[in-house]
Structure 1
Amino acid sequence: MIARLQRFVTLGLLAFVSGWAAMAIALGQGRWAWVGTALVVGGYLLVMGFEMVLAAWVHGDDPAPRPTFGQRLRAWFGEVTTSPRVFCWLQPFRSTVQPDWLPADAAARGVVLVHGFVCNRGFWNDWMPRLAARGIPHVAVDLEPAFCPITTYAEVVGAAVRRVHQATGREPVIVAHSMGGLAVRAWMAAGGRGVHRVITIASPHHGTWAARFSTTENAGDMRQDSGLLGRLAAAETPELLARFTCFYSHCDNIVFPPSTATLDGADNRHVPAMAHVHLAGHPDVFEETVRWARDGVGS
């Protein structure tokens, strides 16, 4: 569903730009042909800038360090150059190009990749060949339906964990971006076990202020006072939370205030000057995943 929706949006924007240019040329106003592109690109840059302004405004007394203007600018630039490739190319048109990889003779434990809100498995296209090159088996899930309660995704996560465990004989590492971290916690709260480590990236563990702008059921679950978040927290023990590594940033433009992406008792890792989608590409996140998949102790 997400791939179809994002194809529709992407092709619609291209049609608008092309139609504007064609109309300008047909009317003998060729010098105005570029305005359609400027409206699309400029609008996108402004929206991303507005998200950064909101994040700065909401930061308040959050314990994460307040970023400098230069750090926010770097984060904004990283996000505006990363997100179009993810949402206008990898997810709508390339979501099935990288297959799951479960070789029979893998020495490493496997990895389960769980995407976030309005995403699909194409989000991990850059990760999957790199994991294979390191000899790490992996499965990337699709969380469908796209806008249902987050608890609906628990079985999808569980099925992927069981599949990797059966193929490798070892408990896998889960890597989850954004909403995917809550889907993993929902699976655990429902009794899901058999995971070696959970690594979350910009996951709204305590909700996000920005969720108020969406009316979908899963966005409602990500509001700071949602019933789901309370139920998840009540079901979690210190021993369970100690299995988490949570990467977060003070420049996240979607999950803010920043410390909402942390968990008490987890290994919380702050990465400065990184925005929401761009954070998933940070080398520290990938190398931490490799470390747990290849060198992590335990069964």
Structure 2
Amino acid sequence: MVARAQRWLVLAWLVAAVAWTAAWWSRSPATAIAGLLVLSGSHAVFLAFEFVLAWRVDESDPLPRASAWQFFKAWLAESIAAPRVFAWYQPFRWRAIPDHLPQSGRRGVVLVHGFVGNRAFWTPWLRELRAADRAFVAVDLEPVFGSIDRYVQTIDAAIVRVTAATGQPPLLICHSMGGLAARAWLRDADGARVHRIATLGTPHRGTWLARFGRTANGRQMRMGGEWLQRIDGERTSVQQVPFSCWYSNSDNIVFPTSVATLPGADNRLAAGRGHVELAFDAPVRREVLALLDAT
């Protein structure tokens, strides 16, 4: 389970921070503080490496590349957003906001997270949907490193639950790999069972970074890979269900830029956003949720 693994990682970080401080504080407070800063900023260094790779790879993409300033601002924002998700929401808050299924007759939502995520990824969305008394189910995709095809039944069950509560086909909102899981579901399902599919930073045509993936779902996201070629058929496309695809020109995980778009879809650029930040951008959230009442 993602939550358990990430709790252990947070605990390991805290133990390392306490041990370092205890070992150095009496001898050199400056060294102790410097070590804490290194521990606190190590994720930002790793993210910077990803953004540099994205900057270089995007140079050859047919869509315009973001400016260096946009990439820098996206890195800063991602350095704040990513720890909030992976060190707080997902490890400790995954049960904080349960699924909500009022018998309201208003269209509901199924939320599908991405790679190494869980339902708590959507925490700000769940709060807003709960406040509006909208029906929603946020799924947990298990096994974490299994084939994307294995997530189909989980998505199907969530669609059944929301439809039963509202009497209407739900809106699917998917981040990253979650959008590919939704397309895998669509391969053998009736597209009329959902209102629309909204994807945020989904590698519809793979991602350059997936060449380093060693897990089953990581390999499936390789550009030009066999799994993506199989899923890129008419039953998993805009011919079956309307798609709205938000993408960024400074995404540090899904790049080059054009891989997050779908031909014929309502492709919407959210310029200068990092991969996690894209799902936490308030204007993007407003635009996506507006689809609930769109025809």
**TM-score w.r.t. length of structure 2:** 0.95
Shift of 1:238: 5.9
Name the amino acid aligned to 1:272: A
| Alignment-derived partner of residue 228 in structure 1 | 227
Q: Is the 8 A contact 2:20 2:32 kept in 1?
A: yes
| Alignment-derived partner of residue 197 in structure 1 | 196
Shift of 1:288: 2.5
| Alignment-derived partner of residue 294 in structure 2 | 296
Shift of 1:38: 2.1
225-234 or 266-275, which moves further after superposition?
225-234
Name the amino acid aligned to 1:169: G
279-288 or 206-215, which moves further after superposition?
279-288
| Alignment-derived partner of residue 89 in structure 2 | 90
| Alignment-derived partner of residue 219 in structure 1 | 218
| Alignment-derived partner of residue 41 in structure 1 | 40
Name the amino acid aligned to 1:167: A
Shift of 1:107: 4.1
Q: Is the 8 A contact 2:195 2:241 kept in 1?
A: no
CA distance in 2, matches of 1:233, 1:88: 34
| Alignment-derived partner of residue 275 in structure 1 | 274
Cα pair distance change 1:11/1:238, threshold 3 Å: closer
| Alignment-derived partner of residue 10 in structure 1 | 10
Cα pair distance change 1:217/1:119, threshold 3 Å: same
What whole-Å deviation, never above 9, does each CA across 1:157-180 have from its counterpart, x for those lacking one? 111011101111000000000000
Q: Is the 8 A contact 2:197 2:241 kept in 1?
A: no
Shift of 1:192: 4.8
Determine whether 1:254 maps to 2:253.
yes
What whole-Å deviation, never above 9, does each CA across 1:190-246 have from its counterpart, x for those lacking one? 225300000000000000001122211110011112211111112437653661000
CA distance in 2, matches of 1:282, 1:198: 18
CA distance in 1, matches of 2:218, 2:247: 19
| Alignment-derived partner of residue 24 in structure 2 | 24
Name the amino acid aligned to 1:6: Q
SS at match of 2:232: helix
Length, aligned pairs only: 294
SS at match of 2:173: strand
SS at match of 1:125: helix
CA distance in 2, matches of 1:119, 1:83: 11
Q: CA RMSD in A?
A: 1.5
- Which residues of 2 match residues 128-143 of structure 1 at below 5 A? 128-143=126-141
Q: Which runs of 4+ in 1 moved over 6 A?
A: none
CA distance in 2, matches of 1:49, 1:177: 21
| Alignment-derived partner of residue 73 in structure 1 | 72
CA distance in 1, matches of 2:168, 2:64: 38
SS at match of 2:25: helix
Cα pair distance change 1:192/1:13, threshold 3 Å: farther
63-72 or 266-275, which moves further after superposition?
63-72
**Structure 2 unaligned runs (5+)?**
none
Name the amino acid aligned to 1:3: A
What whole-Å deviation, never above 9, does each CA across 1:38-89 have from its counterpart, x for those lacking one? 2223322211111110001111332322111111111111100111010000
251-260 or 188-197, which moves further after superposition?
188-197
Cα pair distance change 1:178/1:237, threshold 3 Å: closer
- Which residues of 2 match residues 95-106 of structure 1 at below 5 A? 95-104=94-103, 106=104
CA distance in 2, matches of 1:76, 1:29: 32
Name the amino acid aligned to 1:18: V
What whole-Å deviation, never above 9, does each CA across 1:116-164 have from its counterpart, x for those lacking one? 0001001011111101222321110000110001000011111101110
Structure 1 residue corresponding to 2:163, chosen from 160, 165, 168: 165
Q: Is the 8 A contact 1:242 1:265 kept in 2?
A: no
Name the amino acid aligned to 1:200: T
CA distance in 2, matches of 1:108, 1:115: 23
CA distance in 1, matches of 2:286, 2:105: 17
SS at match of 2:197: strand
227-236 or 6-15, which moves further after superposition?
227-236
Cα pair distance change 1:238/1:8, threshold 3 Å: closer
CA distance in 2, matches of 1:285, 1:151: 28
| Alignment-derived partner of residue 111 in structure 1 | 109
Q: Is the 8 A contact 1:241 1:264 kept in 2?
A: no
Q: Is the 8 A contact 2:196 2:241 kept in 1?
A: no
